[in-house]
A and B are shown apart, each in its own frame.
Chain A
């Protein structure tokens, strides 16, 4: 599926730093990368662009030695290499800065940087040769020394030393001990070890105290340590995995300056990202990946955000999911001004407002990690919120409002709120893998029954689900973890639906499922919609979102960037909204002429036209 793109500069003139040919990696049934070809030149910044799950990180992990490719070849400076471990990657001067920092918290920054450093090899023969040569040269100088040329009382200081043969022999014999001595010296952690590293950091222009412990550092400082670490090891190819995801705009500017400096020093830099504006700002070329395949590599100067989005999301695929007109639409769940911070104090939800209505499916689109999980968990009472309100309108009580803010799941249930939640982590949050179907049904009804658990009705429910949803399982007493992904999901969704919810939240319910199972799930969601349930569907496949949902809420970095009508939405437009940052909004870069977009959050700088 090669898109033809004009590349104007000739590739032949430039030195290739690293070349990938036909790289394929498969995890179980999932193809993470298929037949990827890629080239990185010396002294350039290459962006790797792609949606979540497009295989960007996996591809880079194969260069960094974390994963080993199933097929394909890697060439560095024209020679084929095999990278089996991070160690091999170092040997080829490749350094990767991971999204989750690989730093030891309790060490100082300097210790993290020198960690794993190898002692320089001591070549006995060469060292002996060097010593003998030095002695010979000094002896020669001694013999040619003319005292008359150096008058004065201090002349003896300039006089070369004579090394008798005995001395030379002795020193040559002791040479192995010099090697051992150097080893011991290398192994010893001197108090001033931080100074050495600090000098190198200063030379590259970093302003950071490397004696500080990592647990005292901010995210941006930790990232700087990671970069210094890679440079200290002498890497020529630097891979940065979503480096800007955790930084403030000011910190991003600083990082980009650092990257430009490194480029000027002739290093090759690969940045994994899904933020289009950053791609345009920093990179020389862009490689686009989609669903594990390499779509194209283009020069940044000859492309624009529109074209990149098209390549990233692909052509529209028709899925023929039935979508009925919503009827009896009423506000069921209203979220307003919701904000939350994570344990690092970073805002994960920022003033999120929307309403989920009965009888319709509200899709939530966004790059993974934009706050979808936190949003659903906040509604379900599993995530602490900082600000805002969550109001539920109870259909059983004439749509009387119920405040769900800061309630535990049990409190929510006791209030009579019929909220069902299909979490993305099926076997972690949704079901217990080691328990059978019946016991998993019981997780929702274990409070019923007097003294002894009621096992009959869960058993009946499990049987109903197995029959109606065609779950393939030996019996209802099989451990859930032994079922395939699709069947696990059917069990989970079946259980949640059986609770006859009035709000059904599903996070990535079709992730990892085959086509048939996916359609079963879509139909189930549609059935619920028909019944007047307010369905919230978090998805990653834009085609599905557009065909299934009545309205699509797009979030980016914890903020709502738009609400789009599902029937009229265009993929590229959602793609742009997904990758839009505050800076875009300020600069009014996104033009959405032909579409009706309800900007629900109050963004400064005015609405996009």
Chain B
């Protein structure tokens, strides 16, 4: 029972991990992209359509290759979600619109697009594709203990963890990361140092959105094994909260997302009444608020949000 709980928690956490790592990359550039729920939806749309056309290109379902279907799904989800990031960047960098408004618009847009485009989608073969997505290294049903917890997961779970670790290293230990942080902390300084603020913000937002979009793909194809009936948007907000909870550190997001997922999951595994269950579901948000309060009071400079988060940059402004 405990191992099953832990296994499903890790699986569920992947959803938040994609979203929060993507949003962290975006926020490190100074872009507060509140469109993450919408962008995760767009990732789901892109992934589903990619899988659809892959299935259509095959003669029969038995020909479906696990590697190909996951790859096609990932590429399409990444690209379509990145398109959402492109829209965001175009509005905030090129047109210098307010980031909050742009982000919320994209959320509304993405969520609506999700129900519009997926409700009419032909989902024949999605279950078969979903089982391929969800295939673990070892079979979750026949193993138990630590082996099950560590090795029964699908490719997308391990990819999420790998992305989080790589992102953390790139941000902390490379010049690209250093420049990115400078853009988010103090764009005028970065500009004076010869770093193109606009280009960094565009690319960070595109890549961050693409990664968040993979979360959408994971939710539909892997977590729900090909069912398109549920929207991802509520979990998208949790991913945004997770960014604050992990104080903008992608490596901490791995543990943070597991904690969030555990709190969310506990409501299902513990035998609770409706009220108790809903209260437990609130916990991730409450913890986030507490983290905000604590980091603000004991404000160590190293755990603060990027200083220029949410502001547009224009060189000749006086």
Instruction: Verify if B259 is at the interface (C-beta below 8 Å from A).
Output: no
Instruction: Verify if B188 is at the interface (C-beta below 8 Å from A).
Output: yes
**Contact yes or no, B174 A105, CB < 8 A:** no
CA distance A107 to B179 in the complex (A): 11
Contacts of A66 in B (CB 8 A): 192, 315-316
List 28 A-B residue pairs with CB atoms under 8 Å apart, sorted by A's residue number. A27-B318, A66-B192, A66-B316, A90-B194, A96-B192, A98-B192, A102-B186, A102-B193, A104-B181, A104-B186, A104-B190, A105-B185, A105-B186, A105-B307, A106-B301, A107-B178, A107-B181, A111-B178, A114-B178, A115-B195, A116-B182, A116-B194, A116-B195, A186-B175, A188-B173, A188-B174, A189-B173, A213-B301
Instruction: Verify if B150 is at the interface (C-beta below 8 Å from A).
Output: no
Q: How would you classify the secondary structure of chain A's contact residues: helix, strand, loop or mixed?
A: loop
Contacts of A27 in B (CB 8 A): 318
**Contact yes or no, B185 A115, CB < 8 A:** no
Q: How would you classify the secondary structure of chain B's contact residues: helix, strand, loop or mixed?
A: helix
Instruction: Verify if A328 is at the interface (C-beta below 8 Å from B).
Output: no
Instruction: Verify if A187 is at the interface (C-beta below 8 Å from B).
Output: yes
Contact digits for A71-111, partner B, Cβ 8 Å, 1 yes 0 no? 00000000000000111001000001010001111110001
Instruction: Verify if A117 is at the interface (C-beta below 8 Å from B).
Output: yes
CA distance A112 to B193 in the complex (A): 9
Contacts of B189 in A (CB 8 A): 102-104, 112, 115
A103-B189, A107-B182, A115-B189 are known contacts; what are 18 more A-B pairs with Cβ within 8 Å?
A: A64-B192, A85-B194, A86-B192, A102-B189, A106-B301, A107-B178, A111-B178, A112-B189, A115-B190, A115-B195, A116-B190, A116-B193, A117-B175, A118-B194, A189-B174, A189-B177, A189-B178, A215-B301
CA distance A188 to B178 in the complex (A): 10
Instruction: Verify if A519 is at the interface (C-beta below 8 Å from B).
Output: no
**Contact yes or no, B302 A106, CB < 8 A:** yes
Q: Which residue of B lies closest to A67 (CB)?
A: B316
CB distance from B233 to the nearest CB of A (A): 33
Contacts of A86 in B (CB 8 A): 191-194
Instruction: Verify if B304 is at the interface (C-beta below 8 Å from A).
Output: yes
Which of A87, A104, A213 has the largest count of B CB atoms less than 10 A from its CB? A104
Contacts of B173 in A (CB 8 A): 188-189
| Among A106, A115, A188, contact of B179 (Cβ-Cβ < 8 Å) | A115
Q: Which residue of A lies closest to B176 (CB)?
A: A187
Which residues of B line the A interface, CB within 8 A?
172-179, 181-182, 185-186, 188-195, 301-302, 304, 307, 315-316, 318
Take A115-B193, A187-B175 as given contacts and tell me if A104 and B185 are in contact as well, using a CB distance cutoff of 8 Å.
yes
Take A105-B307, A213-B301 as given contacts and tell me if A115 and B178 are in contact as well, using a CB distance cutoff of 8 Å.
yes
CB distance from A482 to the nearest CB of B (A): 20
CA distance A105 to B182 in the complex (A): 9
CA distance A189 to B176 in the complex (A): 10
Which of B182, B190, B302 has the largest count of A CB atoms less than 10 A from its CB? B182
Contacts of A115 in B (CB 8 A): 178-179, 182, 189-190, 193, 195
Contacts of A87 in B (CB 8 A): 194
Contacts of A102 in B (CB 8 A): 186, 188-189, 192-193
CA distance A112 to B186 in the complex (A): 11
CA distance A215 to B186 in the complex (A): 13
CB distance from B244 to the nearest CB of A (A): 17
CA distance A187 to B182 in the complex (A): 15
Contacts of B185 in A (CB 8 A): 104-107
CA distance A95 to B301 in the complex (A): 29
Which residues of A line the B interface, CB within 8 A?
27, 64, 66-67, 85-87, 90, 96, 98, 102-107, 111-112, 114-118, 186-189, 213, 215
Contacts of B304 in A (CB 8 A): 106
CB distance from A26 to the nearest CB of B (A): 12
CB distance from B180 to the nearest CB of A (A): 11
CB distance from B256 to the nearest CB of A (A): 21
CB distance from A353 to the nearest CB of B (A): 35
Which of A67, A118, A187 has the largest count of B CB atoms less than 10 A from its CB? A187
CA distance A144 to B224 in the complex (A): 75
CA distance A102 to B187 in the complex (A): 9
CB distance from B52 to the nearest CB of A (A): 38
Contacts of B181 in A (CB 8 A): 104, 106-107
Contacts of A111 in B (CB 8 A): 178
CB distance from B6 to the nearest CB of A (A): 36
CA distance A310 to B304 in the complex (A): 50
What 6 pairs between A and B have smallest CB-CB spacing?
A116-B193, A87-B194, A102-B189, A116-B194, A102-B192, A115-B193
Which of A64, A87, A98 has the largest count of B CB atoms less than 10 A from its CB? A87
CB distance from B170 to the nearest CB of A (A): 9
Q: Which residue of B lies closest to A186 (CB)?
A: B175
CA distance A116 to B192 in the complex (A): 9
CB distance from B246 to the nearest CB of A (A): 17
CA distance A118 to B193 in the complex (A): 10
Contacts of A104 in B (CB 8 A): 181-182, 185-186, 189-190
**Contact yes or no, B190 A187, CB < 8 A:** no
Contacts of B178 in A (CB 8 A): 107, 111, 114-115, 189
CA distance A96 to B191 in the complex (A): 13
CA distance A58 to B185 in the complex (A): 25
**Contact yes or no, A105 B301, CB < 8 A:** yes
Contacts of B172 in A (CB 8 A): 189
CB distance from A67 to the nearest CB of B (A): 6
Contacts of A105 in B (CB 8 A): 185-186, 301, 307
Contacts of A186 in B (CB 8 A): 175
CA distance A103 to B189 in the complex (A): 6
Contacts of A114 in B (CB 8 A): 175, 178
CA distance A188 to B179 in the complex (A): 12
Contacts of B176 in A (CB 8 A): 187
CA distance A102 to B315 in the complex (A): 13
Q: Which residue of B lies closest to A189 (CB)?
A: B173
CB distance from A298 to the nearest CB of B (A): 30
CB distance from A115 to the nearest CB of B (A): 5
CB distance from A113 to the nearest CB of B (A): 10
CA distance A85 to B194 in the complex (A): 8
**Contact yes or no, A187 B174, CB < 8 A:** yes
CA distance A326 to B78 in the complex (A): 77
**Contact yes or no, B302 A189, CB < 8 A:** no
CA distance A188 to B182 in the complex (A): 16
CA distance A196 to B14 in the complex (A): 41
Contacts of B182 in A (CB 8 A): 104, 107, 115-116
Which of A64, A106, A188 has the largest count of B CB atoms less than 10 A from its CB? A106
Contacts of B175 in A (CB 8 A): 114, 117, 186-189
